């Protein structure tokens, strides 16, 4: 069984990291008529009728040119242009952030996901890092958009990904009809929309301990054994989602955290019935949360956000 989040990473590009400081090689690839560029206005992209829209280098606006890499004999780039481009009243169509693009990256659009995540992840980083954290000096891009250097003190900044844990917690005899999983609802979500629990890893904390702490903080459920499941880049704006399965040592739920307003235990039969009825709506097909749930459930489930 191929899980939903795996489809987004099934066709990665060669990032050509060794060429990022080779101006001659970069200019040659940029001049290649086959090269294609994704235009990013600040942190937003305007998709075309069939998904992401790539233009020739000479058609791209001014901005920070970012080398994404090579795939299928094509060199792929992004241009991070001024955010005002997305506010231009003469620009037809909607400019979307990465979250708005996710529906376009499912199904046949999944091949574009690694490139989109790369481009938008760097765009978010450029947007958030405009001044040197050491001295406040101006930052300028180098290494084909993958480094920022301070004009005053010379300190170099590199992109970062924040580790976040996402976990499906289960209780009861594994594989039995009574085995159940823990799902929760964020206050911003409408009723009936549930997902696995998640949270960020804190400094000096192991990933397994982050799973136990986040579950305890959000639901008061105590977790024992924690096993790794998989991971998914999630540049919204700069996370790496690390998926886990965990076994509960207690089942009483007390909601003591504002991140969860409703939580409950669900058997496989309850999930089957509720998802078919539409009273329980699970995360979309591109999310590792969906993969965690379907891995435990044993097959695909209907409905999604």
Report pLDDT for 126. 97
SS3 111: helix
Cis omega (within 30 of 0) for bond into 237: yes
Please state the separation of Cα 150 from the chain's center in Å.
28
Which regions in the chain score pLDDT beneath 70? 1, 89-93
Look at residue 275 in the predicted model and tell me its pLDDT: 96
Res 77: pLDDT? 98
Between CA 20 and CA 61, with CA 125 as vertex, the angle to 5 degrees is: 65
Backbone angles phi, psi at 266, to 5 degrees: -130, 125
pLDDT at residue 91 in the model: 59
Whether the CB-CB separation of 251 and 220 falls below 8 Å is answered with no
pLDDT (0 to 100) of residue 106:
78
Burial of 225 (0-12, 13-18, 19+ CB in 10 A): exposed
């Amino acid at each position: 069984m191929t899980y939903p989040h795996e489809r987004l990473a099934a066709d990665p590009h060669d990032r050509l990291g060794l060429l990022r400081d080779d101006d001659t090689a970069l200019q040659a690839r940029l001049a290649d008529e086959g090269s294609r560029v994704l235009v990013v206005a600040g942190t937003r992209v305007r998709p075309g009728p069939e998904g992401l829209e790539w233009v020739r280098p000479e058609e791209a606006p001014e901005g920070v040119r970012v080398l994404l890499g090579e795939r299928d004999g094509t060199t792929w780039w992004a241009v991070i242009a001024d955010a005002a481009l997305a506010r231009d009243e003469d620009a037809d169509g909607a400019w979307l952030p990465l979250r708005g693009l996710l529906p376009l990256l499912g199904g046949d659009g999944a091949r574009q996901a690694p490139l989109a995540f790369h481009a938008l992840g760097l765009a978010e980083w450029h947007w958030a890092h405009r001044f040197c954290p050491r001295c406040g000096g101006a930052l300028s891009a180098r290494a084909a958009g993958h480094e920022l250097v301070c004009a005053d003190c010379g300190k170099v900044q590199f992109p970062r990904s924040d580790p976040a844990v996402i976990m499906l917690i289960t209780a009861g005899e594994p594989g039995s009809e009574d085995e159940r999983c823990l799902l929760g609802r964020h206050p911003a979500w409408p009723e009936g929309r549930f997902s696995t629990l998640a949270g960020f890893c804190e400094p000096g904390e192991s990933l397994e301990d982050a799973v136990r702490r986040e579950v305890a903080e959000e639901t008061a459920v105590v977790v024992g054994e924690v096993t790794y499941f998989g991971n998914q880049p999630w540049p919204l704006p700069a996370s790496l989602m690390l998926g886990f399965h965990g076994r509960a040592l207690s089942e009483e739920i007390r909601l003591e955290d504002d991140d969860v307003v409703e939580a409950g235990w669900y058997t496989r039969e309850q999930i089957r019935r509720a998802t078919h009825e539409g009273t329980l709506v699970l995360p979309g097909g591109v999310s590792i949360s969906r993969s965690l749930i379907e891995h435990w459930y044993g097959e695909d489930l209907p409905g999604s956000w």
